[in-house]
Amino acid sequence: MGPDGAPGPAVPWRKVLWERQPFPDNYVDQRFLGELRRNEGIRQYRYWAVAREAGFVAEQLSCVAIFITLWLYMEQSLLSPETLLWTSLACALLGYGLHRALSSQGDSGCERRTRLADLQSAAIFLSFTFGFSPVLKTLTESVSTDTVYAMSAVMLLAHLVSFPYAQPSPPGSLSLNAALFASVCLASRLPGALHTFAMITCALLVFALWPCLLQRLRGNAPGQFAGVCVGVCVAGVAGLGSQWPGGAVLLALALGSVTLLCPLLLVRLQEHKDNIQGPWDEAEIQEELSLFGN
């Protein structure tokens, strides 16, 4: 239509802004919807693949439950610090050997740390932790027990929320610091300095070293990774059930929801996804930077 409402000249509409055309500013022709694209680049998920990846979340929940169970046993004098230290040492040596074996299979071309460097790092950490154990034991003496338990619960929740499940090796600084802070708070409520040292050493093994080994298993041995996740979940439920049956039931429901129900919801809702793209989207300027290389 022309400016006075009369039919304009029979000229084709062009999608340009630099020339005056006998069409309104909001005019589009029949080609507009012809460029509509739906669900472009949408990733299709498979249920069991999503459930397998969700196993890492369930496994981390179970690790927190196992750590709390060990602390409850030590608080009630049902587990001695010497037993926990020797068990942690055996698990650390076994996991270290398995990690190096998996590393030699998967990353043969990457530079790896030597055994001497790993031994030096472990010795430095154990020495400093053992030396500061009496200080850590008295760190929260002026804080009420209820406050310590509340801080520990909040920090463990922050650890679970901020944990880098997609790439947990090395663990994220926020999640690891939150877990270690919670372990220090709980360890300070144990009877002696040796208990504190054993609990913090166990916390490092569970929250720092174990995710690195599990990431290796997920990349190099997917079958064993699924079996290990199931075993850790069973151990977490069984251990918590020995101290708090109601908590074990809640943990089992949470693990079932995370590994079975949530992946099912994701796959089902994926069918109703409707994402549209078309000429109304913002323009993406593609520059050929190789032309400016010379």
Task: Note the pLDDT of residue 6.
Answer: 43
Q: What is the rounded distance in angstroms from the CA atom of residue 133 to the CA atom of residue 187?
A: 9
Name the percent of the chain lying above pLDDT 70: 86
Task: Note the pLDDT of residue 221.
Answer: 80
Nearest to 73 by CA among 83, 59, 58: 83
Task: Note the pLDDT of residue 109.
Answer: 43
Comparing 152-156, 163-167, 285-289, the range with the smallest average pLDDT is 285-289
Nearest to 12 by CA among 34, 29, 35, 36: 29
Average pLDDT score, the chain:
83
Q: Is 3 a residue whose pLDDT tops 50?
A: no
Q: Is 115 a residue whose pLDDT tops 50?
A: yes
Q: Is 67 a residue whose pLDDT tops 90?
A: yes
Q: Is 129 a residue whose pLDDT tops 60?
A: yes
Comparing 112-121, 178-187, 216-225, the range with the smallest average pLDDT is 112-121
Are the C-beta atoms of residues 186 and 193 closer than 8 Å to each other?
A: no
Average pLDDT over residues 178-206: 91
Tell me the per-residue pLDDT of 17-57, one tens digit each, with 9 for 90 and over: 778 888 887 777 777 777 777 777 777 888 888 888 888 89
Q: Is 151 a residue whose pLDDT tops 90?
A: yes
- Does residue 41 come out as left (phi exceeding 0), alpha (psi in the -120 to 50 range) or beta? left
Q: What is the rounded distance in angstroms from the CA atom of residue 129 to the CA atom of residue 135?
A: 10
Average pLDDT over residues 275-281: 70
Q: Model pTM greater than 0.85?
A: no
Q: What is the rounded distance in angstroms from the CA atom of residue 209 to the CA atom of residue 293?
A: 45
Of 5 and 69, the structure prediction assigns the larger pLDDT to 69
Tell me the per-residue pLDDT of 210-246, one tens digit each, with 9 for 90 and over: 988 888 888 888 778 888 889 999 999 999 999 989 9
Task: Note the pLDDT of residue 108.
Answer: 46
Task: Output the CA angle 195-197-198, nearest 5 degrees.
Answer: 65
Task: Note the pLDDT of residue 288.
Answer: 60
The maximal CA–CA distance of the chain, rounded, in angstroms, is: 96
Nearest to 61 by CA among 192, 220, 252, 226: 252
Helix H or strand E encompassing 276: strand 276-277
Q: What is the rounded distance in angstroms from the CA atom of residue 15 to the CA atom of residue 13?
A: 7
